């Protein structure tokens, strides 16, 4: 029993010694590990702090962007509301045909002004024609020709189509709108806007809105060709501007050609007058040459012959004892150098 206790004590002593050594080794390693961990913790803390700063900056920027987005949305909402009110007011204003006509005329005026055309010079307004019609605009073209344009266009059923609450109502209003356009085309062709003697072979029908023009072309692509077959050209603001640019270029080219013709006529007149002047100058030169020859003959040969006769008279008077005649002056003895 004692031996067992002794053995146990020895074993316990050995174990305690071993544990003490292990504890010493573990404490040193732990110290080093704690230092390393503290360093890593400090590094991670710095990174976390930078991340926290970045997150705070992002949150600040997001808040600012959110405030700007809210402001812009509010501004867009106000503009949409104003546009809606303006559209409603415009729709009410265009309820009457007279108002629609005035609106079309105003749009046409804007296009004419942008194209650089001047009233009274390039076009006329509301001018009666021989057939009894009164086109809204009459364009003055070269060669004593004109081109008429009408700006009144039916849009009642177009408004009903875009405001329709059902597909059937929209389709019905669309068909009615296309019928209105076809009727308008037939009406224009019956107004004597085309005269072979004074106008070109087409008449313009102005559509005051690009949306209406697109809507019409979308739902009836053949309508434009059908209008052209009746010699009616459908013009939106953009296509009218392009057409007016061509018309103005043709007018400028014609005026330039006229000025060139006038210059050529002036040059032709100058050439004719120059030939006449040259002929008269040659004639005067010949006459002066003839007069010079006659003068030389008179001042030379004729004078010398007369002088001889006078000398004979003087000799005869001297022989008779009469006084000689008075000595002639210097002018009386002048003879031309050629004669002398």
Percent of the chain with pLDDT over 70: 78
DSSP state of 6: H
Which residues are within 8 A (CB) of 255 and not within 5 positions of it... i.e. 6 or more apart? 142
Distance of alpha carbon 75 from alpha carbon 77, whole angstroms: 5
Which residue in the block uniquely carries the two structure tokens 């808040």?
Answer: 63
- Per DSSP bridges, beta strands 145-150 and 137-141 are antiparallel
Residue of 191, 175, 190 whose CA lies nearest to 223 = 175
Helix, strand, coil % over all residues of the chain, rounded to 5: 70, 5, 20
pLDDT for residue 339: 41
Percent of the chain with pLDDT over 90: 1
| Sequence-ordered strand ranges (E) for 68-201 | 123-125, 137-141, 145-150
74 exposed, middle or buried (CB, 10 Å; 0-12, 13-18, 19+)? exposed
242: number of Cβ within 10 Å: 13
End-to-end alpha carbon distance in the chain: 195
| pLDDT single digits (tens) 254-297 | 777 777 767 777 877 777 788 888 888 888 888 888 888 877 77
Q: According to DSSP H, which parts of 94-166 are helical?
A: 97-114, 156-162
- Residue 15 confidence class, pLDDT cut points 50, 70, 90: very low
Task: Find the largest Cα–Cα distance for the chain.
Answer: 225
25: number of Cβ within 10 Å: 10
3-class DSSP assignment, residue 4: helix
Alpha-carbon distances of 319 from 159, 285, 305, 309, rounded to whole Å: 137, 50, 22, 16
| pLDDT single digits (tens) 211-259 | 888 888 888 888 888 889 889 989 888 888 888 888 887 777 777 777 7
Q: What is the mean pLDDT of residues 92-97?
A: 58
Q: What is the mean pLDDT of residues 78-95?
A: 66
| pLDDT single digits (tens) 16-40 | 454 455 444 455 566 776 677 677 7
User: Could you state, in order of their start, the residue ranges of all structural domains in the chain?
Assistant: 100-235
Residue of 219, 247, 250, 216 whose CA lies nearest to 234 = 216
Distance of alpha carbon 152 from alpha carbon 131, whole angstroms: 19
pLDDT higher than threshold 50 for residue 2: no
Q: Quick one: how far is CA 278 from the chain centroid?
A: 52
Between 7 and 58, the higher pLDDT residue: 58
Rg of the chain taking only CA atoms, in angstroms: 57
pLDDT higher than threshold 50 for residue 64: yes
Residues 178, 155: contact at Cβ < 8 Å?
Answer: no
């Amino acid at each position: 029993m004692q031996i067992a206790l002794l053995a146990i004590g020895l074993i316990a002593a050995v174990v305690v010694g071993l544990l003490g050594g292990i504890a010493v080794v573990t404490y040193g390693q732990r110290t080093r590990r704690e230092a390393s961990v503290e360093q890593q913790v400090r590094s991670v803390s710095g990174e976390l702090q930078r991340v926290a700063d970045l997150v705070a900056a992002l949150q600040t920027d997001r808040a600012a962007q959110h405030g700007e987005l809210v402001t812009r949305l509010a501004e867009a909402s106000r503009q949409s509301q104003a546009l809606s009110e303006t559209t409603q007011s415009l729709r009410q204003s265009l309820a009457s045909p007279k108002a629609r006509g005035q609106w079309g005329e105003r749009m046409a005026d804007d296009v004419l002004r942008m194209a650089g055309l001047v009233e009274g010079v390039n076009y006329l307004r509301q001018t009666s024609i021989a057939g009894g019609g009164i086109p809204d605009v009459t364009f003055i073209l070269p060669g004593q020709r004109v081109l008429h344009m009408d700006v009144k266009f039916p849009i009642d059923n177009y408004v009903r189509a875009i405001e329709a609450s059902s597909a059937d109502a929209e389709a019905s209003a669309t068909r009615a709108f296309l019928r209105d356009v076809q009727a308008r085309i037939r009406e224009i062709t019956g107004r004597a806007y085309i005269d072979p003697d004074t106008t070109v072979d087409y008449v313009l029908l102005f559509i005051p809105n690009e949306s209406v023009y697109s809507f019409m072309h979308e739902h009836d692509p053949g309508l434009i060709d059908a209008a052209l077959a009746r010699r009616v050209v459908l013009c939106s603001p953009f296509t009218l501007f392009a057409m007016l640019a061509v018309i103005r270029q043709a007018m400028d080219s014609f005026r330039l050609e006229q000025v060139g013709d006038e210059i050529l006529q002036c040059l032709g007149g100058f050439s004719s007058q120059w030939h006449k002047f040259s002929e008269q100058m040659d004639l005067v030169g010949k006459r002066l040459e003839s007069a010079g020859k006659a003068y030389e003959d008179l001042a030379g040969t004729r004078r010398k012959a007369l002088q001889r006769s006078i000398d004979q008279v003087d000799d005869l008077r001297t022989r008779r004892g009469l006084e000689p005649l008075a000595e002639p002056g210097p002018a009386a003895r002048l003879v031309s150098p050629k004669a002398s």
